[in-house]
Amino acid sequence: MTPDRVYVVAGHYDSRVTDVMDATSDAPGADDDASGVAVVLELARVMAGRRPASTIVFAAVAGEEQGLYGSAYMAQRLKAAGADVQGMFTNDIVGSSTADDGTRDPYTIRLFAEGVPSSETPEQAAIRRSVGGENDSATRQLARFVRDVAENDATGMRVRVIYRRDRYRRGGDHIPFLERGYPAARFTEPAEDFAHQHQDVRVDETGRQYGDLPEFCDFDFTARVAKVNAAALWTLAQAPGTPTGARIITTDLTNATRLVWTRGTEPDLTGYEIVWRETTSPDWTHVVPVGDVTTHEVDLSKDNVFFGVRAVNRAGLRSPVAFPAPQA
């Protein structure tokens, strides 16, 4: 058991109409974001009778529409407590599979995952400019993990990873977690209908209905989104944590690559794998099991490929990948 390792899943229960300062008009908020809260509540119900190896926090927050206030408070409380949050998901606008032109995509969910970390320091930025890694933030590794474990017959869903923090001119409850250095990503339906979010409830002169009403939600779609979350969260909680202290040794100029990392404390940890890919590839393409060790040398040049390290337990579950920093 590793109860100190934490994963967070959230939705927000506030809503709004056209004017963000209008606190009196009817604002049903069915898709944005009762759908996300429903996912969180269902996950809590299903998992309540089970015992994950790590801690899963189920949260519904307020103030998202006014400035991410609820999630910022939660993220700050976790940071102040020194919580080891290794993954956070917000389910925000996950209630409909129908776009504004009427087309449907009921078996795809988008997952927004930033590249350059929002919390990156000047020193970290200098290293990234030197060796790369724009596509290898902890959040990108989390997104790859989600796609690997949640695209299957049980969910019936395709996870479309979007390589950006959020949509244009928009932002969600994962951002305060990103700003505090936690891996965090956003689930959102494949194509939004903006007539049914942030709108006064009304019918225009053409007969078109506006407003975020329940009648425009696809409940079967939302149930499949919940399955994607469940697959990701449960596997994260049962698998080993992301390796810490991953480094590439750069003391000597050589065409081989030596990696080091810190051994995890999980009681069922059995070993590690080295992964790598071409610098132009978005996904890990090669895997080498190296056993229960904390260092390994690969006969490949660190200058030509990207490397990573992940942990494996007795059940064969793998952690998200840790992207190593250089160590002179």
Do 283 and 310 lie in a common domain? yes
> φ and ψ at 147, to 5 degrees?
-60, -40
Tokens of 156: 């019936």
Handedness of CA 47, 51, 56, 58 (dihedral sign): positive
What lies within 8 Å, CB to CB, of 66 at 6+ separation is: 14, 16, 20
Do 289 and 196 lie in a common domain? no
What pLDDT, on a 0 to 100 scale, did the predictor assign at position 223? 98
Q: Give the model confidence (pLDDT) of 234-251 as tens digits.
A: 999 999 999 999 999 999
| pLDDT per residue rounded down to tens, the chain (328 residues) | 899 999 999 999 999 999 988 989 999 999 999 999 999 999 999 999 999 999 999 999 999 999 999 999 999 999 999 999 999 999 999 999 999 999 999 999 999 999 999 999 999 999 999 999 999 999 999 999 999 999 999 999 999 999 999 999 999 999 999 999 999 999 999 999 999 999 999 999 999 999 999 999 999 999 999 999 999 999 999 999 999 999 999 998 899 999 999 999 999 999 999 999 999 999 999 999 999 999 999 999 999 999 999 999 999 999 999 999 999 7
Do 83 and 19 lie in a common domain? yes
> What's the structural domain count of the chain?
2
> φ and ψ at 263, to 5 degrees?
-70, 135
Provide the domain limits for residue 318.
244-327
Q: Which of 212, 238, 264 is the last residue of a domain?
A: 238
Do 227 and 317 lie in a common domain? no
Q: Which of 221, 238, 255 is the last residue of a domain?
A: 238
Q: Which of 189, 206, 238 is the last residue of a domain?
A: 238
Tokens of 320: 């998200």
Tokens of 31: 């898709």
Do 169 and 256 lie in a common domain? no
* Amino acid occupying residue 150: A
Do 159 and 211 lie in a common domain? yes
Q: CA gyration radius for the chain? A: 21
Do 37 and 174 lie in a common domain? yes
Tokens of 325: 């920093």
Q: Are strands 108-112 and 5-12 parallel, antiparallel or unpaired?
A: unpaired
CA dist list (Å): 96 to 35, 49, 165, 213, 216? 9, 29, 21, 11, 7
**Residue 193 CA to its chain's centroid (Å):** 23
CATH number at residue 107: 3.40.630.10
Do 121 and 266 lie in a common domain? no
Q: Give the model confidence (pLDDT) of 25-60 as tens digits.
A: 999 999 999 999 999 999 999 999 999 999 999 999
Do 125 and 142 lie in a common domain? yes
CA distance 134 to 132: 6
What pLDDT, on a 0 to 100 scale, did the predictor assign at position 187? 98
CATH number at residue 308: 2.60.40.10
Do 234 and 253 lie in a common domain? no
CA distance 36 to 120: 29
Do 113 and 180 lie in a common domain? yes
Which of 205, 1, 166, 177 lies closest to 89 in space, CA to CA?
177
Coil, helix or strand for 93? coil
What pLDDT, on a 0 to 100 scale, did the predictor assign at position 248? 97
Residue with tokens 């490929």: 305
Do 234 and 251 lie in a common domain? no
